[in-house]
Amino acid sequence: MSLFSTRLLAASAFALMAAAPLHAKTFVYCSEGSPEGFDPAPYTSGTTFDASGHAVYNRLVQFKPGTTEIEPALAESWEVSEDGLEYTFHLRKGVKFHSNDKFTPSREFNADDVIFTFERQANADHPWHEYMAGITYEYYSSMEMDKLIKSIEKLDDYTVKFTLNQPEAPFLANVAMPFVSIVSKEYADALDAAGTREDLNNAPIGTGPFKFVAYQKDAVIRYQKNADYWGEAPKIDDLVFAITPDASVRLQKLKAGECHLMPYPAPADLDEIRADPNLKLDEQPGLNVGYLAYNTTVAPFDNPQVRKALNMAMDKQALIDAVYQGNAEVAKNPIPPTMWSYNDAVEDDKYDPEAAKAMLDEAGLKDLTMEVWAMPVQRPYMPNARRTAELIQSDFAKVGVKVEIVSYEWGEYLKKSMEEGRKGAVILGWTGDNGDPDNFLSVLLSCAGANPGGANRAFWCNEEFSDLLAKAKATSDHDERVKLYEQAQVIFKQEAPWATLAHSTQYVPMAKNVTGFVQSPLGDYTFETVDLTE
């Protein structure tokens, strides 16, 4: 059924395109992968969010382009109650949903759509909760929205009140994320009546800058400018995602003029891109960290002096030159420098093998043998974990520590690295979801994160540190939060549960004539501001 309806859609979209002026301004993005679907709620990949959440939809609030600051979107304004438990959103009036050949909205965006968006994910009995077999709302549950939101009330057509179970300052950043993109309830009702519910995922209707036109699986996604956009209308007429999985081929396409912009260039190609007169390269520090997590519950790594000594034995600059080919900066804090509350006053443990050896001797360690785990996959924060492990191995050998490198299949790696009593230190990393420091510190380093199913792979539970995080979460006073997180970073450095390795740089190569592209620190690719000159 869905195959048939996609074809119909493509056919009618064709009619639509044929009627459009012939030399429309078309922007082609060589995307790196295929979206899992076009409903942003049940999926988790950034590729899907670029293709659906960012292009087609909006959220109550959004990240100001190029930053992680929150600005109004479908909510024009909001108030937070004194106790931090109630968030009242005042919705924007006059916002139109898109239309397609089978659906034309009869009303504008209102509170019903907001409630529908959250309830279908929150409530297992909601008729739209499992509209496709086997779907789950992983982001909604992993951001703990289910535990956080007590109730959502419609005060009137343009006012919605969220009541929380506990005060949570990062809540606003959470509702700026793509998984809570506002979906039209009227469209859902129409699909219900037509018996084509899966079209919510195949033929999305949103309020965003671009209207979805057609998707040919694993090949091309086509969009058209939303002329009725509530914000500043896009400058390009058509947006095309040409799906190109291989990084070298993407670059060849960019050079041949088959696309205008590409994500994730191969590090080895960067010099060639810089040298090409027809291309330009935008670079920005990424919102990520790569680290080596000791198991702080197992001797001798339960001793902070030992961890610090090992950190001092590591030549991180050499590691960045070799593994990242210089396209990263040395990390001293667990959060990247572009994130608010980054504590630049913290001093990194200096590379000093002599002193490190002395400290290890002092701790009574002779002939220490340890495992270093190297993850089997590449991530922007860790381009080559095996090589990293080898460099650590040779650095540690200089202070008399023998390293055995181990690796597992990725799923196993993730699982085994969270097993209690794990031997060895684990190479891993993190890319921020929403730009809130809590999204790094609580997830990766709090006592709660050390429980099964968490992501605190150092199993580090420092109550003073966790208390600071809890306090920072409970206040919505921004300056106060900055202070608390700065203190937390000082404790982190003293206790050294990780060796912080690197914050890698994000690169976006594009054609010379592309203007107005704003890189997102969160690694999103959005095109409402881009234009083509000439």
Partner 1 sequence: MFRFILKKLLYLVPTMLGITLVAFGFIRLLPGDPVLLMAGERGVSPERYAQIAAQLGYDKPVWQQYLHYLGNLLQGDLGNSLVTKKPVLNEFLALFPATVELALVAITIATVIGVPVGVIAAIKRGSWFDQVSMTTALVGFSMPIFWWGLLLIILFSGVLGWTPVSGRISLMYFFPQVTGFMLIDSLLSGQDGAFASALSHLILPSIVLATIPLAVIARQTRSAMLEVMGEDYVRTARAKGLSPRRVIGVHALRNAMIPVITTIGLQVGVLMAGAILTETIFSWPGIGKWMIDSISRRDYPVVQSGLLLIAAIVMIVNLVVDLTYGLINPRIRHK
Residues found near partner 1 in the complex (CB under 8 A): 2-3, 6-7, 10-11, 13-14, 17, 26, 28, 36-37, 42, 44, 132-136, 138, 141-142, 198, 201, 214, 216-220, 222, 240, 242-246, 248-249, 252-253, 255-256, 258, 408-412, 414-415, 418, 428-430, 443, 451-455
CB closer to partner 1 out of 264 and 351: 264
Which two tokens mark 533?
Answer: 């000159």
Minimum gap (Å) between residue 284 Cβ and partner 1: 22
Q: How far is the CB of 457 from partner 1 (least distance, A)?
A: 9
- At its nearest, how many Å lie between partner 1 and the CB of residue 181? 17
Q: How far is the CB of 351 from partner 1 (least distance, A)?
A: 27
The nearer residue to partner 1, 222 or 308, going by C-beta atoms, is: 222
Tokens of 335: 């959060």
In DSSP notation, 325-393 reads: TT-EEE--SSS-TTSTT--TTPPPPP--HHHHHHHHHHTT--S-EEEEE--SS-BTTBS-HHHHHHHHH
Question: In angstroms, what is the minimal distance from the CB of 346 to partner 1?
Answer: 24
Residue 340 or 408 having the CB closest to partner 1: 408
* Least distance between partner 1 and beta carbon 376 (Å): 10
Which residue number, 269 or 390, has a Cβ lying nearer to partner 1? Answer: 269
Q: How far apart are CA 351 and CA 259, in angstroms?
A: 44
* Residue that is written with structure tokens 């493509």 in the block: 10
Give the chain's end-to-end CA distance (angstroms, integer).
Answer: 44
Minimum CB distance to partner 1 smaller for 217 or for 398: 217
| Spatial CA neighbour of 498 closest among 430, 434, 451 | 430
Which DSSP helix (H) or strand (E) runs through 114? helix 111-122
- Comparison of 243 and 374: residue with beta carbon closer to partner 1: 243
Give 75 or 331: the residue with its C-beta nearer to partner 1. Answer: 331
Residue-level length of the chain: 534
Q: What is the DSSP string of 151-163?
A: EEEEEETTEEEEE
Q: What are phi and psi of 432, to 5 degrees?
A: -65, 145
Taking the complex as a whole, how short is the minimal distance between the CB of residue 411 and partner 1, in angstroms? 4
Helix (DSSP H) and strand (DSSP E) numbers for the chain: 19, 19
